[in-house]
């Protein structure tokens, strides 16, 4: 798990903060589905409603693929938020596009992968956000089981949890992200989305997200 560029990671975070795709509320934390209390909520789908941000992210993800996965023959989006991002990238690169459901469709062909399945095709997986990596890696396994060769994954943002790093290392899947929690924090303070006093609490969450504010 690595950052594409430290030079652009802050800029990506700034754009996500500006459009409120990233929201910080250390004093009024969000509650995740897992039950964790969190000072941050990240919804990168909002970037799709802002053409300038959408294009900036698309172009950076295309760069990531060209530089790190030059043999890519197709793009695979992870449902649901990775679908539009992946489709934009595939269109820009002139590559086939498929997407992976979280579970097989309950009727018809009962597909988990939508689009043409070409065994042996080399694909790059697109995610909008990586937390623990569980759902992302489930999509990778589904692709491999269908005969695709997964070159790696590119994502917009990650919280940078150690468990995610361990999961991707164990699965031997290369993950490259445009920005992460560590790059976002100083940008949030610089742009007044968080105070210097907030930083301690925000850093504590990153270290122990499962026990923070419990």
Extract the annotated binding site: 101, 105, 107, 127-135
Distance (Å, whole) CA 199 – CA 186 = 9
Distance (Å, whole) CA 25 – CA 158 = 18
Count CA within 13 A, CB hemisphere, residue 180. Answer: 22
Tell how far CA 110 is from the center of its chain: 26
How far, in Å, are 140, 141, 197 from residue 174 at the CA level? 11, 14, 35
CB atoms within 10 A of CB 196: 7
CB atoms within 10 A of CB 101: 17
Helix, strand, coil tally for the chain in percent (to 5): 45, 20, 35
Tell how far CA 212 is from the center of its chain: 23
CB atoms within 10 A of CB 202: 20
Alpha helix stretches (DSSP H) within 122-192: 134-145, 162-171, 181-190
Q: Which segments are annotated as binding site for 5-phospho-alpha-D-ribose 1-diphosphate?
A: 101, 105, 107, 127-135
Distance (Å, whole) CA 151 – CA 174 = 8
* DSSP bridge partners of 78: 100
């Amino acid at each position: 798990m690595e950052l594409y560029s430290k030079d652009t990671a802050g800029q990506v975070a700034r754009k996500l903060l500006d459009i409120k795709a990233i929201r910080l509320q250390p004093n009024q934390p969000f509650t995740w589905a897992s039950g964790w209390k969190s000072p941050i909520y990240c919804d990168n789908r909002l970037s799709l409603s802002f053409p300038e941000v959408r294009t900036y992210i698309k172009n950076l993800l295309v760069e990531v693929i060209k530089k790190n996965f030059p043999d890519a023959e197709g793009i695979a989006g992870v449902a649901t938020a990775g679908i539009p991002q992946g489709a934009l990238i595939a269109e820009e690169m002139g590559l086939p596009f498929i997407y992976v459901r979280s579970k097989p469709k309950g009727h018809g062909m009962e597909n988990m992968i939508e689009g043409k399945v070409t065994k042996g095709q080399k694909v790059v997986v697109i995610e909008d956000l990586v937390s623990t990596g569980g759902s992302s890696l489930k999509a990778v396994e589904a692709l491999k089981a269908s005969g695709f060769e997964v070159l790696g994954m590119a994502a917009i943002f990650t919280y940078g949890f150690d468990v995610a790093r361990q999961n991707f290392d164990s699965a031997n899947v290369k993950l490259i992200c445009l920005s992460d929690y560590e790059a976002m924090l100083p940008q949030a303070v610089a742009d007044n989305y968080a105070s210097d006093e907030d930083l301690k609490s925000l850093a504590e969450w990153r270290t122990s997200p499962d026990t923070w504010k419990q």
